[in-house]
């Protein structure tokens, strides 16, 4: 339940509506159900002296679609009214399971296709909706956020394109580099972290999971994830360590410089459980190498926590490393598409983000401070107190 006291005296910006693109409708349906529950328990609903029309609904989801012609071209269609609404558009740009036909040939949806469909729905709603917020958990082109040579700045261009189309706010999770928001300094950009959800998933799935400096360490797999590991170490009162990647900058393979070795900096991990924290598993090569090195240094168990589990090279290597004992648990959120095969793996655990996102949307719709939901510190401290009492 979100902080209803904050919303108690705040009138919504407009009637809440959610347009979920096809790639994330199951996730959006769970978010929608939480919002329905929130609103039924809200003082703004129970106060019969001042009823708000449309505030309490059985569902806030819109009927929208992006049908395609035989050539592969598409269009955005919203079948419900959005006039005067506070519209939230949800998109999962990583859902490659969806397909479409191009002149009889079957194509899988790429991030570019999903982003184009997002713009189509924005175009269909523009001029009617009172405010448009894009909820894009995996930030489109987020890894192409800076220029190191003569190359494109795709993420910055994408953000500018969305705001030029009339988008007021962009909500994402664990942005690869939040500084990309500098591309749109006059518009809203919020990046939320799943820190509490990671810990909750581990506590629920690992019976003997001990959170103290004698049993646990936080590990950053590279210099880019340092801030995440430092936060875990500070809030949990544990030690931390980090790896840094030595790369061969004279070679480019699959668009990146190959990693020569991982070097470790930090205290001994011998006999301790370790939390390896990062924003995503792409191919998983780097993460698996870190896990093996930690086990070689006599770590007890390796827990991998990443916001986005993409597994672009499949699960075979993860299966192998689990069988060898290099990894004990892999925790990712449900913010992006995950294969049915992954969900069945014994080492996989899900950090459910639906209630958290519903709370974020509820706060934004009321146009109140989101600091209470943005910082998980209080929730983590309450979780630690609960563990001490049990």
Q: What's the pLDDT at 227?
A: 86
| DSSP structure string for 365-388 | HHT---HHHH--HHHHHHHHHHHH
Burial class, 60, CB count within 10 angstroms (exposed 0-12 / middle 13-18 / buried 19+): buried
**pLDDT, average across residues 228-253:** 83
Q: What's the pLDDT at 374?
A: 75
pLDDT higher at 119 or 261: 119
What is the H or E stretch that residue 230 is in?
helix 226-236
Paired sense of beta strands 259-266 and 239-247, if any: antiparallel
Q: What's the pLDDT at 129?
A: 92
Burial class, 196, CB count within 10 angstroms (exposed 0-12 / middle 13-18 / buried 19+): buried
Which backbone phi and psi does 182 adopt, to 5 degrees? -60, -20
- CA Rg value for the chain: 22
Task: Using the predicted structure, report yes or no on whether residue 1 has a pLDDT greater than 50.
Answer: no
Within a 13 Å sphere around the CA of 249, how many CA atoms are in the beta-carbon half?
A: 3
Which backbone phi and psi does 186 adopt, to 5 degrees? -100, 10
Structure tokens at 338: 């995950």
Structure tokens at 58: 């059985």
At which residue do the structure tokens 């269009």 appear?
Answer: 75
Q: What confidence tens digit (pLDDT) does each residue in 46-78 have?
A: 555 456 777 888 999 999 999 999 999 999 999
> Quick one: pLDDT band at residue 110, thresholds 50, 70, 90?
very high
Q: Residue 221 and residue 112: Cα distance in Å, rounded? A: 29
Task: Using the predicted structure, report yes or no on whether residue 95 has a pLDDT greater than 50.
Answer: yes
Structure tokens at 140: 């489109």
Pair 35, 361: CB distance under 8 Å: yes
Q: What confidence tens digit (pLDDT) does each residue in 173-196 have?
A: 999 888 999 999 999 999 999 999
pLDDT higher at 95 or 249: 95
Pair 150, 105: CB distance under 8 Å: no
Indicate yes or no: pTM above 0.85.
yes
Burial class, 183, CB count within 10 angstroms (exposed 0-12 / middle 13-18 / buried 19+): middle
Paired sense of beta strands 77-78 and 86-90, if any: unpaired
Q: Residue 269 and residue 239: Cα distance in Å, rounded? A: 9
Mean pLDDT, all residues of the chain = 88
What is the H or E stretch that residue 277 is in?
strand 273-281
Task: Using the predicted structure, report yes or no on whether residue 243 has a pLDDT greater than 90.
Answer: no
Distance, C-alpha 335 to centroid of its chain? 5
Q: What's the pLDDT at 380?
A: 85
Burial class, 49, CB count within 10 angstroms (exposed 0-12 / middle 13-18 / buried 19+): exposed
Q: What's the pLDDT at 43?
A: 66
What is the H or E stretch that residue 244 is in?
strand 239-247
Q: What confidence tens digit (pLDDT) does each residue in 290-344 have?
A: 999 999 999 999 999 999 999 999 999 999 999 999 999 999 999 999 999 999 9
Task: Using the predicted structure, report yes or no on whether residue 136 has a pLDDT greater than 80.
Answer: yes
* Length of the chain counted residue by residue: 390
Interhelix angle 377-389/226-236, nearest 10 degrees: 40
Question: What 8-state DSSP symbol labels residue 61?
Answer: B
Q: What's the pLDDT at 49?
A: 46
Give SS3 for 77.
Answer: strand
Closest by CA position to 133, among listed 172, 78, 76: 172
Q: What's the pLDDT at 46?
A: 56
Which residues, listed in sequence order, are joined to residue 274 by a DSSP beta bridge? Answer: 217, 302
Burial class, 145, CB count within 10 angstroms (exposed 0-12 / middle 13-18 / buried 19+): buried
């Amino acid at each position: 339940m979100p902080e209803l006291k904050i919303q108690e005296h705040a009138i919504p910006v407009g009637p809440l509506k959610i347009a979920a693109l096809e790639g994330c409708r199951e996730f959006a349906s769970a978010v929608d159900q939480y919002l329905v529950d929130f609103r039924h328990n809200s003082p703004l609903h129970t106060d019969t002296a001042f009823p708000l029309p449309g505030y309490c609904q059985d569902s806030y989801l819109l009927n929208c679609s992006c049908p395609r012609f035989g050539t592969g071209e598409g269009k955005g269609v919203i079948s419900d009214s959005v006039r005067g609404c506070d519209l939230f558009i949800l998109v999962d740009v990583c859902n490659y399971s969806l397909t479409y036909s191009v002149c009889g040939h079957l194509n899988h949806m790429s991030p570019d296709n999903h982003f184009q469909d997002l713009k189509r729905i924005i175009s269909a709603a523009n001029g009617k909706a009172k405010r448009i917020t894009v909820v894009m958990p995996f930030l489109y082109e987020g890894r192409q956020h800076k220029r190191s040579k003569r190359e494109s700045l795709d993420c910055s261009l994408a953000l500018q394109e969305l705001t030029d189309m009339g988008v007021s706010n962009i909500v994402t999770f664990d942005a690869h580099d939040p500084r990309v928001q500098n591309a749109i300094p006059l518009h809203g950009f919020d990046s939320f972290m799943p820190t509490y959800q990671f810990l909750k998933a581990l506590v629920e799935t690992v019976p003997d999971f001990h959170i103290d400096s004698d049993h646990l360490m936080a590990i950053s797999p590279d210099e880019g994830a340092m801030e995440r590991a430092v936060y875990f170490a500070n809030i949990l009162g544990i030690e931390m360590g980090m790896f840094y990647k030595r790369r061969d900058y004279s070679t480019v393979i699959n668009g990146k410089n190959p990693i020569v070795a991982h070097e470790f900096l930090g205290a001994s991990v011998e006999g301790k459980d370790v939390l390896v924290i990062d924003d995503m598993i792409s191919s998983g090569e780097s993460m698996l190498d870190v896990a093996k090195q930690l086990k070689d240094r006599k770590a007890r168990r390796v827990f991998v926590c990443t916001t986005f589990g993409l597994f672009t090279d499949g699960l075979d290597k993860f299966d192998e490393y689990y069988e060898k004992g290099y990894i004990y648990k892999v925790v990712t959120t449900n913010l992006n598409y995950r294969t049915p095969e992954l969900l069945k793996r014994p080492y996989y655990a899900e950090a459910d983000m639906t209630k958290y996102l519903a709370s974020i949307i509820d706060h934004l719709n009321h146009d109140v401070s989101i600091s209470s939901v943005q910082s998980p510190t209080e929730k983590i401290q309450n979780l630690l107190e609960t563990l001490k009492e049990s």
